[in-house]
Amino acid sequence: MIDDDDEPIASGVLPIGPRSGRMLAADDVTGRFFRLFQVAAALGGADFPATIEAALDYASLPAADREAFVDHVVEDLPGDGLGLAMLLPLIFVEDDPLHVARMTKAVWEAVERNKSTLKAWAGTSSGVLRGCRLLVPIGGGASELVEVVYDLEDGFRSVRERTIAHESEVGAALLVVVDGILLEPAEAANVVADLITTVLAEARYRREIVFDWQSVCDTLLDDAALLDDPHGPSGSRA
């Protein structure tokens, strides 16, 4: 998480792949999936590697166990960002349309119940790229400020985030610009619906392509660990 309030919100276009240090292109499988998990973790102020691991663990469960988990979570889904962080990755890895529908409905209902606590801005560029900003309470009076640029049919393009102590730090500006896209105040439920639509598009992409799932998962976890601690476990550069 980015906590330095004196610095601008850091770019979510990150050097992915600790082994190569290369920058992943927008159409790179790992890069696309990485940004999706970034969005989910950022919305909940959640631990990034844990967000990935939870989704991978869920995907590895037998069908009956996944159904039992969905039964449990949709009945008691938090209405804050943790609910979004919990279910967006599961919607991405789930192939059962019934489970996807139930989780999507649970997210929508949780946002509707708590829409008074969520603040959102949204806008479009050239009718294709969209941008949004969400201010999501994460407990203790703090909020996560998340800015996302995305294509409803082609995935997430960039993610920026910052944890703030109080929403007053954001200021009272009605109009903001993110990556050249003018954003205006919007209904949080509509913005979250857009994010879910983009997650579903990424899920379709995952099912349509041929790739080594285990290799991608290993790289995602390696890269998540690097993002959490860029200097290694000891705190010093390797």
* Predicted confidence pLDDT, tens digits, the chain (238 residues): 333 333 333 333 333 333 333 343 334 677 788 888 888 888 877 788 888 888 888 988 998 999 998 888 877 776 666 677 788 889 999 999 999 999 988 888 878 777 777 889 999 987 789 999 998 877 777 888 899 999 998 889 988 888 887 767 776 567 888 888 999 999 988 998 899 999 999 999 888 877 677 777 788 788 777 665 443 333 322 3
User: 113: which residues sit within 8 A by CB, 6+ positions away?
Assistant: 79
Dist. CA 190–CA 108, nearest whole Å: 9
Contact 89, 50 (CB under 8 A): no
- Residue 237, phi-psi category: left (phi > 0), alpha (psi -120 to 50), beta (remainder): beta
Dist. CA 211–CA 192, nearest whole Å: 29
Contact 99, 70 (CB under 8 A): yes
Report the pLDDT value the prediction gives residue 173, as an integer from 0 to 100: 64
The DSSP letter of residue 167 is G
Write the DSSP string, 22-73: PPPPTT-HHHHHHHHHHHHHHHHT--HHHHHHHHHHHHHS-HHHHHHHHHHH
Report the pLDDT value the prediction gives residue 29, as an integer from 0 to 100: 74
Burial (CB < 10 A; 0-12, 13-18, 19+), residue 24, is buried
pTM (2 decimals)? 0.77
Report the pLDDT value the prediction gives residue 81, as an integer from 0 to 100: 64
* Joined tokens for residue 15: 């050097």
Longest pairwise C-alpha distance within the chain: 49
Dist. CA 90–CA 70, nearest whole Å: 10
The DSSP letter of residue 10 is B
Question: β-pairing, 142-151 with 176-178?
Answer: unpaired
Dist. CA 59–CA 232, nearest whole Å: 28
